[in-house]
Structure 1
């Protein structure tokens, strides 16, 4: 298991969260399994930007983003050099510290997660 530290987010986890993530799963899947209900409007198919995260620690250990992810990230709100789509980042051996941006470009939200 690899630790993912989620920095506080006013709506999703006001006190932050520490998640023990399974290697080989995406960060998005790990957050959802750990009770951090990050948006994922495209059902984790790399077709939107609602699961955008900023990797504050551990970014340099991640494989580079594919072109499709890079193209989508250009549309993300609050884009930073360490931005990634959490559905595309696979958990490895290195602990990660992530920040979930305050806003997304999602215009509609269905259900609780």
Structure 2
């Protein structure tokens, strides 16, 4: 039986963490369920850019980025080609994702 995993890497050099994810969970859900601090000012409904992440591996297996998500990524700090919102990255079966959590702005921007 294949297992879906997400490996979280951190901008500040703390050790990476790998966690199992159930199909239908978002990267944000998995982070929060495992004590990983990831901002989510809108509550995870694609209403802000605070859960901005970089998808380093496995991004082709994620749902396609929506226009709304792209608009919010444009407002994120230091967006890149592999930027996504963790609340919109819903895992599927048999996936192995690697994501980096960039420096977060704790002032709510």
Residue ranges of structure 2 left out of the alignment (5+ in a row): none
Partner of 2:86: 86
Q: Give the Cα separation in 1 of the matches to 2:72 and 2:108.
A: 18
Deviation per CA, 1:78-106: give whole Å up to 9, x if none. 111111000011011211000011133x5
Contact 1:8 1:17 in 2 (8 A): no
Partner of 1:95: 96
Partner of 2:58: 58
What is the count of residue pairs matched by the alignment?
A: 106
Q: Give the Cα separation in 2 of the matches to 1:107 and 1:31.
A: 20
Q: CA deviation at 1:8?
A: 2.9
TM-score when scaled to structure 2? 0.88
Deviation per CA, 1:18-50: give whole Å up to 9, x if none. 111111111100111111121111110111111
TM-score when scaled to structure 1? 0.85
Q: CA deviation at 1:107?
A: 2.2
Q: Give the Cα separation in 1 of the matches to 2:8 and 2:84.
A: 14
Contact 1:9 1:16 in 2 (8 A): no
Structure of higher RCO (CA pairs closer than 8 Å, 6+ residues apart): 2
Residue ranges of structure 1 left out of the alignment (5+ in a row): none
Partner of 1:23: 23
Q: Give the Cα separation in 1 of the matches to 2:104 and 2:31.
A: 17
Partner of 1:6: 8
The Cα RMSD (Å) is 1.8
As a proportion of its length, which structure holds more strand?
A: 2
